[in-house]
Amino acid sequence: MSSRSRNRVGMRAPMGLALAVFLITAALAADAPQVTEGGAVTVTGTVSTVKASERTVTIKLAEGGEAQYVWSPDTRITGVLTPGARVTIRYVADGNQNRALQITVSRS
């Protein structure tokens, strides 16, 4: 075996390991809340409850646990909020509330 082919074989394992670490890191980062411009945070989850009279929605977060969000007339809502719907919410923490800036219901 030439030294050139030995170098290729020897490089496969470290490159494969680096690729695996990258893919795992990317998958974990995709489920974590993402901070966007202006301090807004984006989360994804499944709607548990909707209380239209209180303008609140509770979701089961993709990373575990539940959280409640309050919307206002200024909140941009795309789709219909119903229990079981998959949503992405962009929000800011406002005192003791999570104030939704945008709620996007995924099409299933």
Q: Where residue 80 sits, what CATH number does that domain have?
A: 2.40.50.320
The phi-psi region of residue 84 (left if phi > 0; otherwise alpha if psi is between -120 and 50; otherwise beta) is left
Q: Are residues 51 and 94 in the same domain?
A: yes
Contact 105, 79 (CB under 8 A): yes
Contact 59, 48 (CB under 8 A): yes
Q: Are residues 1 and 46 in the same domain?
A: no
Residue numbers of the domain that contains 13: 1-31
Q: Are residues 8 and 27 in the same domain?
A: yes
Planar angle of CA 32, 36, 41, nearest 5 degrees = 50
Q: What is the pLDDT of residues 83-95, one digit of tens each?
A: 999 999 999 998 8
pLDDT at residue 28, rounded to an integer? 46
pTM: 0.66
Q: Are residues 5 and 20 in the same domain?
A: yes
Phi/psi at 85 (5° precision): -75, 145
Residue 59 binned pLDDT confidence (cut-offs 50, 70, 90) = very high
